[in-house]
């Protein structure tokens, strides 16, 4: 069964989506220039200047622009849920990074920039061929995503470790990109259940995917409301990877969608009848995640941006912007598929 966007809805939104995305891109460019200025006057103090053109304001606007886009695609604009930059700022200012302090009633996935690893210049002469040795990521950023269930993020992951964490009831599972070796993809993540009732899982990502999986690039599982029963697919074009934009998508492997949930759930929590994450309208945003950029994982929200509670410190601003700037794409190409 093929799924299609309701034309009456999408056609009327296309222009607005385009407008929002273009604005976001423009603002990102402005912010990039702000960063340039900031770096050239490093000691000017204060990341946000206060005037309308400050980096902080620009970030707010950018986030608001993308939030609006998501809201439009989610069909939320009629409900007045368009998110402004101020709203995002308000959300972000309340974030604390402490998992214990987060809102227990938060059911929407939450993405939050986290720590930033400083370059570790320490090295030893023995690390190369010693078991268990590793070098801490030099410049990769990390960000987290909290979900009530173990959701697939569209990438292929392979588990490589599991650890008991101090003061945590649940062990932490470590994953690396399936294409780590064949494509030198450095993306990793770890998943840990941080809450029992209701269950909440925190996924912490490190590094962006640099891999590309062309095998199933044109197939995306869209309907996650009943993943075990009626997975629906959207097909872009008649053949695989015949479109340069979507050919860059990573694959969604059904077996991986299932095994990751079950592999942890069977250990951590009893299976529930309702392990779904995305509601029907969330399907739109799921696709939208990829429309923005396959690497734009900071915006990988499975729900409305109301769950976006990033704590935007200085590094997080740069993180957001670097991701924004990575997603160079032709909006018209994108929109023709909306």
Partner DNA sequence: GATATTTGACCTAT
Partner DNA sequence: ATAGGTCAAATATC
Residues at the interface with DNA (CB under 7 A): 120, 122, 124, 126-127, 129-137, 158-167, 172-174, 176, 178, 188, 190, 206, 256, 259-260, 263, 267
What tokens were used for 132? Answer: 């268990």
Query: Which of 115, 98, 117 has the alpha carbon at shortest distance from 167?
Result: 98
Between residues 106 and 172, which has the closer beta carbon with respect to DNA? 172
CB of 9 to DNA, least distance (A): 37
C-alpha span between 75 and 280 (Å, rounded): 11
Q: Give the shortest CB-207-to-DNA separation in angstroms.
A: 9
Under 8 Å between Cβ of 297 and 323: yes
86 vs 262 by CB, closer to DNA:
262
Residue nearer to DNA on the CB measure, 61 or 170 = 170
Closest to DNA by CB, 65 vs 151, is 151
User: Shortest gap between Cβ of 160 and DNA (angstroms)?
Assistant: 5
CB nearer to DNA: pick between 151 and 306? 151
Residue listed under structure tokens 């078991």: 131
Task: Tell the smallest beta-carbon distance from residue 261 to DNA (Å).
Answer: 11
Residue 326 parent element (H or E): helix 314-326
Task: Determine the Cα–Cα distance for residues 124 and 108; give it in Å rounded to an integer.
Answer: 43
Q: Nearest distance from residue 202's CB to DNA, in Å? A: 11
- Under a CB-based contact definition with an 8 Å cutoff, are residues 175 and 190 in contact? yes
- Residues 66, 315: Cα–Cα separation, whole Å: 20
DSSP string, 6-44: -HHHHHHHHHHHHHHHHHHHHHHHHHHHHHHHHHHTGGG
Q: Based on CB atoms, which residue is closest to DNA, 117 or 337?
A: 117
CB of 337 to DNA, least distance (A): 29
Closest CA to 109 of 152, 79, 141: 152
Rounded distance, CA 277 to CA 254, Å? 16
Helix (H, G, I), strand (E, B) or coil at 159: strand
3-state secondary structure string across 123-140: CCCCCCCCCCCCCCCCCC
Question: Measured from the CB of residue 99, what is the shortest distance to DNA in angstroms?
Answer: 11
Decide whether 39 or 164 has the Cβ nearer to DNA: 164
């Amino acid at each position: 069964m093929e799924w299609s966007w309701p034309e009456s809805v999408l056609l009327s939104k296309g222009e607005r989506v385009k407008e929002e995305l273009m604005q976001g891109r423009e603002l990102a460019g402005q912010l990039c220039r702000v960063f340039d200025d900031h770096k050239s006057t490093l000691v000017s103090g204060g990341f946000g200047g206060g005037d309308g053109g400050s980096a902080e304001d620009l970030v707010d606007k950018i986030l608001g622009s993308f939030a609006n886009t998501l809201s439009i695609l989610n069909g939320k604009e009629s409900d007045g849920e368009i998110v402004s930059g101020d709203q995002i700022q308000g959300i972000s200012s309340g974030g604390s990074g402490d998992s214990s302090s987060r809102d227990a009633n938060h059911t929407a996935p939450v993405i939050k920039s986290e720590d930033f690893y400083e370059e570790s210049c320490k090295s030893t002469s023995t690390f190369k061929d010693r078991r268990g040795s590793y070098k801490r990521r030099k410049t990769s950023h990390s960000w987290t995503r909290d979900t009530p269930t173990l959701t697939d993020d569209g990438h292929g992951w392979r588990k490589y470790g599991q650890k008991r964490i101090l003061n945590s009831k649940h062990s932490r599972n470590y994953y690396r990109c399936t294409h780590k070796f064949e494509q030198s993809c450095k993306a990793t993540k770890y998943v840990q259940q941080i809450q029992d009732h209701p269950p909440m899982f925190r996924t912490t990502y490190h590094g962006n995917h640099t891999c590309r999986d062309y095998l199933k690039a044109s197939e995306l599982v869209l309907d996650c409301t009943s993943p075990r029963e009626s997975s629906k697919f959207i097909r872009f074009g008649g053949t695989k990877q015949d479109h340069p934009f979507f050919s860059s998508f990573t694959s969604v492997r059904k077996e991986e969608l299932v095994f990751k949930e079950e592999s942890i759930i069977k250990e951590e929590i009893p299976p529930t009848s309702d392990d779904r994450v995305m509601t029907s309208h969330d399907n739109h945003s799921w696709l939208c995640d990829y429309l923005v950029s396959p690497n734009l994982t900071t915006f990988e929200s499975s729900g409305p941006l109301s769950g976006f509670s990033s704590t935007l410190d200085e590094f997080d601003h740069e993180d957001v912007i670097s991701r924004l700037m990575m997603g160079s794409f032709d909006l018209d190409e994108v929109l023709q598929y909306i």
